[in-house]
């Protein structure tokens, strides 16, 4: 992240930065001080945990809030001591505030009762219904932003797992990278009004792009 993209936080343990990183890398178990190296390590661990999860998750599995926390813990526990724990700091991005830290427990239980109960296992027919399920789950999880770091990547991994339950291949999210990043953030913000249509459209593009790439391969 650039300095303008970093989260605004208060002085809690998970808000401590690695000495020598100039306030750009959170304190970590490896003593990594550069964003470039940290991104490599986090990405390697993400691929490892995704491969693991794909081997153990059932097609008919219904997910819980505990599962979301467990995925985060398995992914980042070798890097951050607070992996898999609710954040205790309030965070914002580009002036947009995510859920207040003290509300996360209740919001995740509500997320479990509503979105996770309704849309997992993700066994829907047709791209339209699948995209609706992925969009609503993803938007609500992003608005809660339960973790200090890694929410977006975890959300995309979880969307991939849901898509596999629906019989789709591994999702290719390059469709919403680059120039469409702001469109993506705008779609997340629309979720404040329970408007999931913009994110649904993005997921339809991801699904179609993935299908096209898979067919070409």
Alpha-carbon distance values, 56 to 50, 52, 60, 62, 98 (Å): 10, 7, 12, 13, 31
* pLDDT tens-digit map of 65-76: 999 999 999 999
Alpha-carbon distance values, 71 to 14, 41, 151, 193 (Å): 18, 17, 11, 28
Span 13-216: which CATH code?
1.10.3290.10
Q: Residue 1's pLDDT band (boundaries 50, 70, 90)?
A: very low
Residues of the chain with pLDDT > 90: what percent?
A: 86
* pLDDT tens-digit map of 159-202: 999 999 999 999 999 878 777 899 999 999 999 999 999 999 99
* pLDDT tens-digit map of 202-217: 999 999 999 888 887 6
Q: Flag whether the pTM goes above 0.85.
A: yes
* pLDDT tens-digit map of 74-116: 999 999 999 999 999 999 998 999 999 999 999 999 999 999 9
Sequence ranges of the domains in the chain: 13-216
Residue 210 near residue 170 (C-beta atoms within 8 A): yes
Q: Which residues contact 146 (CB under 8 A, 6 or more apart)?
A: 68, 69, 72, 86, 87, 104, 107, 108
Torsion angle (degrees, nearest 10) of CA 119, 125, 128, 132: 0
**Residue 6 pLDDT exceeds 90:** no
């Amino acid at each position: 992240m650039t300095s303008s993209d970093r989260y605004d936080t208060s002085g809690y343990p998970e808000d401590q930065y690695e000495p020598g990183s100039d306030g750009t890398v959170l304190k970590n178990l490896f003593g990594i001080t550069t964003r470039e190296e940290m991104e490599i390590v986090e990405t390697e661990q993400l691929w490892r945990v995704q491969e693991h999860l794909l081997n153990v998750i059932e097609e008919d599995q219904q997910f819980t809030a505990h599962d979301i926390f467990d995925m985060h813990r398995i992914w980042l526990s070798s890097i951050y001591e607070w992996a898999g724990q609710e954040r205790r700091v309030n965070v914002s991005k580009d002036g947009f505030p995510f859920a207040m830290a003290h509300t996360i427990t209740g919001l995740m239980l509500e997320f479990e009762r509503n979105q996770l109960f309704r849309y997992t296992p993700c066994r829907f027919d047709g791209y339209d219904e699948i995209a609706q399920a992925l969009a609503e789950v993803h938007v609500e999880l992003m608005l809660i932003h339960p973790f200090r770091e890694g929410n977006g990547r975890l959300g995309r991994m979880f969307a991939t797992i849901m898509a596999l339950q629906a019989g789709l291949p591994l999702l290719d999210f390059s469709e919403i990278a680059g120039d469409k990043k702001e469109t993506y953030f705008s779609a997340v913000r629309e979720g404040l009004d329970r408007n999931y249509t913009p994110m649904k459209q993005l997921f339809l593009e991801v699904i179609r792009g993935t299908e096209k790439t898979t067919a070409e391969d």
